[in-house]
Amino acid sequence: MTPLERKELEACLKRASEILYNNTDSSSLDTLEGIEIAVREQVLENVSPQIARLGARSLAP
């Protein structure tokens, strides 16, 4: 990964984390356990399906 690609990736991940945070029930973020569950749910529902495209060239954009 080039330095430029790394910066671009970091910017995209920062924005993605903001979107996921804004779409998480704030009451679930009161405890460490709640944060862990919320992150896991967001990753499973929204992040993993997109990352799976790495392994499936036929689905890649």
**Quick one: pLDDT at residue 1?**
92
Number of H helices, E strands in the chain: 3, 0
**Quick one: pLDDT at residue 54?**
78
Q: Alpha-carbon distance 61 to 53, whole Å?
A: 8
- Residue pair 54/61 in contact (Cβ under 8 Å)? The answer is no
Domain boundaries, the chain: 3-59
* Between 7 and 56, residue with greater pLDDT: 7
The reported pTM is 0.72
Structure tokens at 40: 């896991």
pLDDT band at residue 58 under the 50/70/90 scheme:
low
